[in-house]
């Protein structure tokens, strides 16, 4: 039996008025489906410790007989993996004295020290803050055929900028971060997060590599890709993560809106029962350098313009996922907004969510604030 200090704090349910309170926000999602910004969506909103909205919209695909998305549908959350799995693992290892944020990555990953002396300068803080100088994305899967090859290829990717000189979002950096955290903890990323994060927060539908029996509950992300000529459903959408076996620091987690609401609830309650309040504050505070960065450690913060819209307070933090997912948390309002879609269906060409998502967030906060 769990001790009271280790049990997840309950998230109260207050859904009785959601269709009235969030009428405008829900209408925006319905509009997005009508305009084919995405075939389906699920939303969860928490306010002051209660789940005040939890609802599914649309269908798995645009076909008339496609399964309807409901509030329990499972989505590939793509780069939300960075803040729901990899960053919490870094937070826990930091608390345990295993991870020194300002230590050099080559001390843990000696294979990173190739060809360029600047690699000696890269710290874990830089990887978390996306200031390592590594590029945003590289199709490593084109020249690697297994996890070991992928990691070696990631370690050898040339810099796009000097370490610490600017903030440049980098999947490559988080691939390396995930591997380094595995080395430091002695535990695979999926095992560590499964036991020390997801299970402790009772995120029962959250996992890397979902079992085949769950496939029907998982919303598909793509109707074929460059390396997979099939419907992508129940397997990670990201090609680099796929080539790594579905477990990577930058992508690979599948989850539901209510599970992510539980995760946000934990952070809004100062990290209990998972981590200490000072650790939450450290990782979610915007970094002071490089100049002009909007990045915290793992997380992003509102900028102008922002996919979070115009109303989230400066102390807020959040993240996006390529498949059309997002999570934004506003500690001052004690608010979290999780939006999961499959905007990549049938392919990734449609960018309409970029216009719709800020309007959705604005409508949510207008409803919360009574504007």
104 lies in a domain? no
215 lies in a domain? yes
Q: What count of Cα atoms within 13 Å lies in the side-chain half-sphere of residue 138?
A: 21
266-276 average pLDDT score: 97
The percentage of residues in the chain with a pLDDT greater than 90, rounded to a whole number, is 95
Q: What is the pLDDT of residue 6?
A: 59
- Please give the model's pTM, rounded to 2 decimal places: 0.97
303-317 average pLDDT score: 96
Contacts of 64 (CB under 8 A, 6+ apart): none
318 lies in a domain? yes
pLDDT in tens, 65-94: 999 999 999 999 999 999 999 999 999 999
Confidence of residue 155 (pLDDT cuts 50, 70, 90): very high
177-194 average pLDDT score: 98
327 lies in a domain? yes
183-195 average pLDDT score: 98
72 lies in a domain? yes
Q: What is the CATH number of the domain that holds 73?
A: 3.40.710.10
Q: What is the DSSP string of 253-295?
A: EEE-HHHHHHHHHHHHTTTTTTS-HHHHHHHHSPPS-STT--B
The percentage of residues in the chain with a pLDDT greater than 70, rounded to a whole number, is 98
134-149 average pLDDT score: 95
117 lies in a domain? no
pLDDT at 363 over 80: yes
What integer best gives the mean pLDDT of the chain? 96
Confidence of residue 9 (pLDDT cuts 50, 70, 90): confident
Number of domains in the chain: 1
Confidence of residue 2 (pLDDT cuts 50, 70, 90): very low
Q: Could you give the CA distance from residue 209 to residue 207 in angstroms, rounded to a whole number? A: 6
pLDDT at 17 over 60: yes
Q: Could you give the CA distance from residue 104 to residue 357 in angstroms, rounded to a whole number? A: 37
Quick one: which of 35, 31, 39 has its CA closest to 222? 39
272 lies in a domain? yes
Q: What is the pLDDT of residue 139?
A: 97
What range defines the domain where residue 244 resides? 4-84+190-369
Q: What is the pLDDT of residue 8?
A: 78
146-163 average pLDDT score: 95
Q: Could you give the CA distance from residue 190 to residue 195 in angstroms, rounded to a whole number? A: 9
Per DSSP (E only), the strands in the chain are 12-13, 40-47, 50-58, 75-76, 207-208, 222-223, 231-232, 253-255, 317-321, 325-330, 335-341
311-320 average pLDDT score: 98
**Tokens standing for residue 304:** 């102008």
pLDDT in tens, 280-300: 999 999 999 999 999 999 999
348 lies in a domain? yes
Under a CB-based contact definition with an 8 Å cutoff, are residues 40 and 30 in contact?
Answer: no
């Amino acid at each position: 039996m769990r001790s009271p200090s280790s049990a997840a704090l309950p998230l109260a349910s207050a859904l009785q008025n959601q269709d009235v309170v969030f009428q405008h926000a829900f209408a925006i999602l319905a509009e997005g489906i009508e305009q084919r910004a995405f075939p389906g969506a699920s939303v969860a909103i928490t306010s002051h410790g209660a789940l005040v909205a939890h609802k599914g919209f649309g269908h798995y695909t645009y076909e008339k007989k496609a399964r309807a998305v409901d509030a329990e549908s499972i989505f590939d959350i793509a780069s939300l993996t960075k803040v729901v799995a990899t960053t919490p693992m870094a937070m826990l290892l930091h608390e345990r004295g295993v991870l020194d944020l300002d230590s050099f990555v080559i001390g843990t990953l000696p294979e990173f020290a190739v060809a360029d002396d600047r690699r000696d300068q890269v710290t874990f803080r830089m990887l978390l803050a996306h200031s390592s100088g590594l590029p945003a994305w590289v199709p490593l899967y084109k020249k690697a055929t297994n996890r070991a090859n992928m990691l070696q290829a990631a370690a050898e990717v040339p810099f796009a900028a000097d370490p610490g000189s600017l903030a440049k979002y980098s999947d490559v950096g988080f691939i390396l971060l995930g591997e380094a955290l595995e080395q430091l903890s002695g535990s695979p990323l999926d095992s560590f997060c499964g036991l020390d994060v997801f299970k402790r927060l009772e995120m029962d539908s959250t996992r890397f590599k979902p079992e085949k029996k769950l496939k029907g509950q998982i919303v598909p992300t793509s109707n074929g890709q460059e390396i997979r000529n099939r419907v992508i459903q129940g397997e990670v959408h990201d090609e680099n993560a796929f080539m790594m076996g579905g477990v990577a620091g930058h992508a690979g987690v599948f989850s539901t809106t209510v599970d992510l609401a539980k995760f946000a609830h934990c952070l809004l309650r100062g990290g209990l029962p998972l981590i200490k309040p000072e650790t939450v504050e450290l990782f979610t505070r915007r970094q002071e350098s490089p100049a002009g960065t909007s990045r915290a450690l793992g997380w992003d913060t509102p900028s102008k313009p922002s996919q979070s819209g115009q109303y989230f307070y400066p102390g807020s933090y959040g993240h996006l996922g390529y498949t059309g997912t997002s999570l934004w948390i506003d500690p001052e309002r004690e608010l979290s907004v999780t939006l999961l879609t499959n905007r990549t269906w049938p392919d990734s060409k449609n960018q309409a969510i970029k216009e719709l998502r800020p309007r959705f967030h604005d409508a949510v906060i207008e409803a919360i604030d009574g504007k």
